[in-house]
């Protein structure tokens, strides 16, 4: 298994070389500012105490408070959390929002916990880290297997310990608890703004562009609907159980209806059933991996036929595969740009909470579009300037911003 933090450091080194980064700043950026490891004792429903291990990595706050989700998963590790906090620093700096990089996690299979146990675990974790977070210090959010309900418990526990309200301490809250309008579709909506800019740069007409989408969750599902509404031809969609393909385009609304009725994508009329592996290798214009990490690897990178890849999942392409795609002149719009709509609207939620404001969904998306378009154009221009990939360009642009704020 590849060490994600080692991958992150390879990316940092590559960008540092391209931009001739000051060696002192490079040295600072190789390490997180602070990493917390905590033990969280939880009284289980049977009366026994179980101890869960949790982490919070605060990578860099040169641009603003640390920002990043908390995940509940049995494979959470210190190196994973450090890597994710590094990538959050890059992502926030790529889209130029006033936030740094953070990430948290607990080693747990949350599906095996009762609601009461989950609540006690979530509150217990905050009891261990509360002095290190706050709307002016570190702002967590939901991630894998954490929800707006869990964020609500965490915020409540934090405010109890703090002794006063601080609604901006956590984002990804329910609307009723101070969450932002538009947050549910923000990641996909940000991705759509990026696709529009890419189409302008490459002079593509939406109705001539074939798109394959891996993943039908919150991100992939909304991408399919929004791109279809924009006139793009969605030729393939998959979920964890398999996928469907029609080279002339799928009726996206009917696909969703079919999945709702049957629970599966397979056996949709006018489409052939395909596996996820097959979807990745289809002859399409844009491939949108929006499921898990490490989907495009050294094993399949030479079989990718898409002209462009829009990374809506985090880390769907391994570094080795990235090299192969670059040699084959396949444009990869990296995750730190493509899926940054989510963290951008989280930043908006934090801003609304701190200013005691409520923005409409329309206001949120006007602001989001402006930020995503600007970031895309800056990354594209950096790519052209150095003759590098879009991923390298995003890292160069982000590290430039962070480096300018680091005081040596």
Active site residues: 103
Given a contact cutoff of 8 angstroms between Cβ atoms, the answer to whether 270 and 306 are in contact is: no
DSSP assigned state of 310: E
Pair type for strands 101-107 and 49-60:
antiparallel
Q: Residue 162 to residues 75, 130, 157, 248, 294: CA-CA distances in angstroms?
A: 31, 8, 9, 58, 40
* φ, ψ (nearest 5 deg) of residue 357: -120, 160
Q: Which among 371, 378, 362, 316 is positioned nearest to 343, based on CA atoms?
A: 371
13-27: buried (b, 16+ CB within 10 Å) or exposed (e) per residue? ebbbebbebeeebbe
What is the DSSP track for 256-287?
A: HHHHHHHS-STT-TT-EEE-HHHHHTS--SEE
Pair type for strands 49-60 and 34-43:
antiparallel
Length of the chain in residues, anyone?
A: 408
Greatest Cα-to-Cα distance within the chain, rounded to the nearest angstrom: 64
Within 13 Å, how many C-alpha atoms sit on residue 247's CB side?
3
* φ, ψ (nearest 5 deg) of residue 340: -75, 0
- In the beta sheet, which residues pair with residue 51? 41
The residue assigned the tokens 């898990």 is 292
CA dist 99 and 15 (Å) reads 20
- Tell me whether residue 103 is exposed, middle or buried, using C-beta atoms within 10 angstroms of its C-beta: 0 to 12, 13 to 18, 19 or more: buried
DSSP assigned state of 296: B
Given a contact cutoff of 8 angstroms between Cβ atoms, the answer to whether 83 and 8 are in contact is: yes
158-195: buried (b, 16+ CB within 10 Å) or exposed (e) per residue? bbeeeeeebbbbbbbbeeebbbbbbbbbbbbbbbbbbb
């Amino acid at each position: 298994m590849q060490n994600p933090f080692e991958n992150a450091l390879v990316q940092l080194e590559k960008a540092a070389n391209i931009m001739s980064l000051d060696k002192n700043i490079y040295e600072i950026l190789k390490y997180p500012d602070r990493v917390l490891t905590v033990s969280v004792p939880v009284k289980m429903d049977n009366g026994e105490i179980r101890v869960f291990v949790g982490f919070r990595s605060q990578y860099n706050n040169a641009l603003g408070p640390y920002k990043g989700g908390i995940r509940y998963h049995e494979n959470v590790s210190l190196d994973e959390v450090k890597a994710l906090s590094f990538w959050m620093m890059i992502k926030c700096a790529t889209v130029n929002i006033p936030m740094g990089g953070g990430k948290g996690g607990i080693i747990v299979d949350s599906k095996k916990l009762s609601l009461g146990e989950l609540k006690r675990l979530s509150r217990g974790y905050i009891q261990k880290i509360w002095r290190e977070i706050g709307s002016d210090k570190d702002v967590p959010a939901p991630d894998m297997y954490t929800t707006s309900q869990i964020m609500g418990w965490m915020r409540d526990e934090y405010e109890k310990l703090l002794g006063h309200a601080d609604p901006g301490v956590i984002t990804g809250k329910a609307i009723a608890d101070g969450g932002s309008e538009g947050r549910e579709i923000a990641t996909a909506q940000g991705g759509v703004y990026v696709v529009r800019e890419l189409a302008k740069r490459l002079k593509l007409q939406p109705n001539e562009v074939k798109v394959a989408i891996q993943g039908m969750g919150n991100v992939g599902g909304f991408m399919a609907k929004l791109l279809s509404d924009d006139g793009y031809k969605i030729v393939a969609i998959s979920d964890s159980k398999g996928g469907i393909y029609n080279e002339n385009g799928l009726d996206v609304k009917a696909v969703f209806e079919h999945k709702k009725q049957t629970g599966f994508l397979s056996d949709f009329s006018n489409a052939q059933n395909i596996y996820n592996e097959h979807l990745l290798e289809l002859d399409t214009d844009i491939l949108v991996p929006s499921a898990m990490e490490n989907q495009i690897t050294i094993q399949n990178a030479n079989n990718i036929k898409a002209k462009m890849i829009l990374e809506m999942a985090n880390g769907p392409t391994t570094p080795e595969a990235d090299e192969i795609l670059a040699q084959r002149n396949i444009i990869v719009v990296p995750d730190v740009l493509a899926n940054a709509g989510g963290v951008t609207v989280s930043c908006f939620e934090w801003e609304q909470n701190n200013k005691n404001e409520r923005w409409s969904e329309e206001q949120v998306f006007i602001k989001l579009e402006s930020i995503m378009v600007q970031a895309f154009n800056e990354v594209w221009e950096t790519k052209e300037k150095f003759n590098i990939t879009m991923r390298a360009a995003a890292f160069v642009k982000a590290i430039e911003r962070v480096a300018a704020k680091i005081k040596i």
